[in-house]
Amino acid sequence: MIKDLAAREDGTVRVSGWVEKVRDQRYVQFVVLRDETGAVQLVNGGVLREPDPENPRSDILVPRTRTISELTHGTFVTVTGELQHNERVKLGGVEIQIEEIEVVAASLPDNPVADDSGIDVRLDWRFLDLRRPEQNLVFRVQTTFLHALRQVWIDHGFIEVQTPKLMASASESRAELFTVEYFEGQAFLAQSPQFFKQMAQAAGFGGIFEVGPAFRADPSFTSRHATEFTSVDCEFSWVDSHEDVMELHEELIVAGITAVKEKHGAEIEKLFGIELEIPSRPFPRIPLAEAKEIVKERGYEVPRADADMDPEGERQIAAYVKEKFGHDFVFLTDYAWSIRPFYHMRHAEDQSLTKSYDLIYNGTEISTGAQREHRIEILEQQAKEKGLDPEELGFYLDFFRYGVPPHGGFGMGLNRVLMLMLKQSSIREVTYLFRGPNRLLP
């Protein structure tokens, strides 16, 4: 691989990759070759052109030179040559003097993706867009981040599960459900693994986690919404309140960002121009009602008093937290019962509030968490209050008829985390293959 060349001694090497650039000069040719690990300069020097006996003022290209001249951007080649260390070479301080070059797979000359192509064009040709070093880095960062999260869960004795994505009933709101034909009936694509995460608590699994797809039939075209996204979910038993969930959540976030900074920090700074900051613990915590008052004092009032914090409110409270605490994260806590799902636990001393939170990162909500209600009689009553039919929730409510410990958890959008971590303008940039209201291809 190209990343290994700098550590090798001078001598014969064999490399493969995509042609990124060709500089065809009269007596020397340069090729920039890239694989998934980096780029290297190839040199075709020496006597590259032979005199034309019929016209002494012109040259005839020798075969190898002609091959290089005809290389198109994106052509995949294999090269054998002499590796030479040269401090003047900007690409890693090494270059390869070409001895043999084989065109493995030629690329069409009319590359549909240019440096100034818009996001829609790049998504149409996503496999070409993903060749960019910035895009390659995004998914290396994702891999490192998830590995760090998994390590924390495993160290805590958690179990990884894979829950079904075909469901017989809604887990959140019917308004955002995708309905699919299912033999003689119909099924729904899972909005979240919520019910199945809680089933694991009734089953005695204790802590569990999942990284998997979730689906929302939300016709939004914003930079942070998608109809299919990767959800990072966690649920565990023996909690005393949502504070226990927040403590684990921030431990996971700190571990993930620390691992990314240690492994990719220099490359992120080079390609994205940002220096990652590892957040300190504990993260700031502000009750939602208080946060709305803070935002109001800053000159912005959330339109509805009985509603969630809107995007501008999230940006304003994040700016306040950055100014006051120097922190990129803030937990907004104690959401009103009127805007939370039926399975969130209410405060005993104030039934209008829930033991829940949203986590805001760089001005955008990335996660919702809570202590769940585990008492069957209260769950049934709360479902009715939300206009749900307990009969349709029968399989879920059965979990709580045979003893289940107090528990809580969260669901977090992985793509939003990456977008905000790398300061990208849209989750489209950090999603392998984006799905939205008007995009099902490629």
Q: Is 2 exposed, middle or buried (0-12, 13-18, 19+ CB in 10 A)?
A: buried
Ramachandran class of 292: left when φ > 0, alpha when ψ lies in -120 to 50, beta otherwise: alpha
Residues 325-338: what's their mean pLDDT?
Answer: 97
| CATH code assigned to 126-430 | 3.30.930.10
Across 423-439, b (16+ Cβ under 10 Å) vs e yields ebebbbbbbeebebeee
Residue 131 and residue 149 in contact, taking contact as beta carbons nearer than 8 Å = no
Q: Could you give the residue range(s) of every CATH 2.40.50.140 domain in the chain?
A: 2-105
Please tell me whether 95 is known to bind a ligand: no
Percent of the chain with pLDDT over 90: 85
Q: Could you give the residue range(s) of every CATH 3.30.930.10 domain in the chain?
A: 126-430
Please tell me whether 375 is known to bind a ligand: no
Residue 437 is which amino acid? Answer: P
pLDDT, position 115: 83
pLDDT, position 400: 97
pLDDT, position 59: 54
Instruction: Report pLDDT digits (tens) over 387-433.
Output: 998 988 889 999 999 999 999 999 999 999 999 999 999 999 999 99
Residues 352-361: what's their mean pLDDT?
Answer: 98
Please tell me whether 416 is known to bind a ligand: yes
Residues 110-115: what's their mean pLDDT?
Answer: 90
Instruction: Report pLDDT digits (tens) over 41-77.
Output: 999 985 445 555 666 555 555 677 788 989 999 999 9
Q: What is the mean pLDDT of the chain?
A: 93
Please tell me whether 368 is known to bind a ligand: yes
pLDDT, position 307: 83
pLDDT, position 65: 79
Residues 80-99: what's their mean pLDDT?
Answer: 93
Please tell me whether 362 is known to bind a ligand: no
- CATH label, 2-105, candidates 3.60.150.10, 3.30.70.890, 2.40.50.140, 3.40.50.300: 2.40.50.140
Question: Predicted confidence band at 157 (pLDDT cuts at 50, 70, 90)?
Answer: very high
Q: What separation in angstroms does the CA of 198 have from each of 153, 207, 235, 394?
A: 17, 10, 7, 14
| Residues sharing a CB contact under 8 Å with residue 223, sequence separation 6 or more, in sequence order | 419, 425, 426, 427, 428
What's this model's pTM, rounded to 2 decimal places?
0.93
Residue 151 is which amino acid? Answer: Q
Please tell me whether 415 is known to bind a ligand: yes
Please tell me whether 74 is known to bind a ligand: no
Take residue 18 and report the two structure tokens written for it.
Answer: 């995509």
Across 47-57, b (16+ Cβ under 10 Å) vs e yields ebeeeeeeeee
Please tell me whether 372 is known to bind a ligand: yes
